[in-house]
Each structure stands twice: as C-alpha cells, then as structure tokens.
A = this chain, B = another copy of it.
Amino acid sequence: MPGSEFNIIQTFFTDLARSLSDWQGNSDIVLGIGDDCAIITPPDSQQLVVSIDTLISGVHFPEQTSPEAVAHKALAVNLSDLAAMGAEPAWFTLALTLPKADESWLTSFSSVLFKLAEEFNISLIGGDTTRGKLAITIQVAGYVPQGRALLRSGARAGDIIALTGPLGAASIGLDIVLGKNHNTYQCLSDKQQQAALLALNYPSPKIKEGLLLRDYAHAVLDLSDGLLSDLGHILKAGAVGANVFLEQLPLAESLQCLELEQAWERALTGGDDYQLCFTLDPEKWQQLKNIAPQFTAIGVITDTHELRLLNSSGELFQPRNGGYNHFE
C-alpha cells in the first residue's frame, strides 16, 4: 500500500535515524520517525529552544550545489541558531522538497546530514518528503538550563562587542561558485580558494562557543545575513548603539586579494559566516579572551542608538550595501 514517497523516507531517513538514535542513546527521544508524531520527554529543569529555517535552491545556495553541501548547510545553519542561544542540540525534524526521488542524490544528502547530526549529538525525529523545487526546511530543538538561554536583547552601553572568528570567507566562496568578481579571488592559491568554498558550503556551527558564552555574554546572535545587518538586531533589541572599529575586524584569509576598504565591506556585509556576535562586560572580556584567544573584540556598545563604523583616525565609513535580503 505505501507508495514510493514512504519508501524514500523509509530507506534514506528512518533506518539511518534509528541507528543514529540507538548509537547516541538520547533517552529523551521516546519515539522517532514512523508515527503521526514523534514523542519526547524533555529533561527536568531544562528549557526547550527551537528554531526553523528553510533553504531554497537558487536562493540560499546556487543550484549546482552538491547534495553533501546542501545537507551540511541546512542542518548547520539551524545548529547555529541553537549555538546563538547557548543551547545543547537535542533533536530535529526535516521537511524535504525534491524534484524527483533521486536515490544517488538522497544517499549523498543523507550521509552528510547524519554525519553532522552525529557530530553534534542531535537526533532526527520526524520528517516529510514532498515533490517540488529543491527546498530543505529543518526545525531544530535544543536544551538549556532554566533561565540560562542567551538572547539578542541585553546589550548594555559600555559592553565590548566581540566575534567568535573571522568574517568574509563565505562571500568569497560565493564569488568563486558564481564565477563573478574575479578580482576578489584571483590572487588566492587553489588551496585558499578551496578554503573559501568550504566556508560557504560547510559552515561550522559554534555550539561549544555558545555553551561557553552562557557564563559571559549579555547578548548573542549568529551572523547569517552579515555583521551590519545582524548587529543591527542586537542594537534594536537592546535599544542601544555601537562603535565598530574597522581595523579590529577579523578578516578571513580569503579576503587578501581585496583592498582594505573592500575587505571591510565584505566583512561587514558578506553573509553566511555563522560566527557568533556577542556583547559582554569589559571585565568579563578580559577573562574570556584568555580562555578563547580566537575570539576578537571589534567595538563597544554605546547609548547613541547609532551604528558607527570607524577607522583608526576616527573617521566614519559608509559601506555601499547592507546585509543580504531575500526580498530585495
């Protein structure tokens, strides 16, 4: 009776999800894929944090992107949202829209999806497969001790603004994939170009960093649309402003073909970096940077309600475009 739609889910996801779940031994998952709903017993005194994101072929990734990269990115960007809340990954659901039931594509997609799920100890508990243009919607859930979730609100005047790592590599990776703006990557070695492509296609969710920040940060979010746009959310949520010091921006090695101002522009407006941006007390920053030397301070929160980009002479810098926007 069950037709091919169910067979796809069965073959590519149910069995894999079960073996992963058995391996992980996540005792909160009472029932996974296979019934009308999954059943979860949330651990005592933990809050649940959830997020949903859709990636569409041709909008969020170029149409020629490999199934491996699509799988990695779809789960990674959702894990990144959990990281930004300081949450431990718990489980996810997958709604997959496919033009056709392509076994080879599904095998590649599912192998990387489950590899990443294993790495971050997150279980697939439910799914839906439909026919249409390639689109992947994942909802993730994670746990955080009662009252300990990190929010984007909470930035205070005087806070240091910091990042978990360098910016701009993914935007160069996108130039390479699309074969445009050759000048942004023509000076890079093959290996360096490969690194930019990896940054675009295989972003690394900052789960560990998010857990660390629970003890330090006032406000946190992950950078998906570009620093300018995303930092704007922190400022709006906290009703504060910021001075960002351009010379302090951690520039990815992939930006080295660019003039300094162009590199700043990329670091400020390039999307898909998935670093965490956070604010914290200056004293806490002194402690944190000893533990996490790869983190970089880039500015301070002010009470001006303005986002000012300053060079070392204190001059204002105006980038040519804002963050990425799907409807612009």
Contacts and interface: CB of A to CB of B under 8 A. Distances in A.
B1 A322 contact: yes
Contact of A56 (B3, B132, B139, B142): B132
Determine which residue in A50, A93, A135, A220 has the highest number of CB atoms from chain B within 10 A of its CB, and name it: A50
Interface stretch (A78-86, A171-179, A194-202): A78-86
Determine which residue in A38, A82, A228, A232 has the highest number of CB atoms from chain B within 10 A of its CB, and name it: A38
Interface residues of A, number: 77
A326 interface: yes
This chain's copy number in the assembly: 2
Contacts of A307: 1
A190 interface: no
Contacts of A220: 36
Given A97-B135, A151-B31, A229-B2, A87 B37 contact: yes
16 contacts: A2-B233, A8-B327, A36-B152, A36-B222, A37-B51, A37-B84, A38-B51, A39-B48, A44-B44, A48-B48, A52-B127, A54-B95, A95-B137, A131-B326, A132-B133, A137-B137
Interface of A: 1-5, 8, 30-31, 34-42, 44, 47-56, 58-60, 81-82, 84-85, 87, 93-95, 97, 100-101, 125-133, 135, 137, 139, 142, 144, 146, 149, 151-153, 220-222, 228-229, 232-233, 236-237, 307, 322-323, 325-328
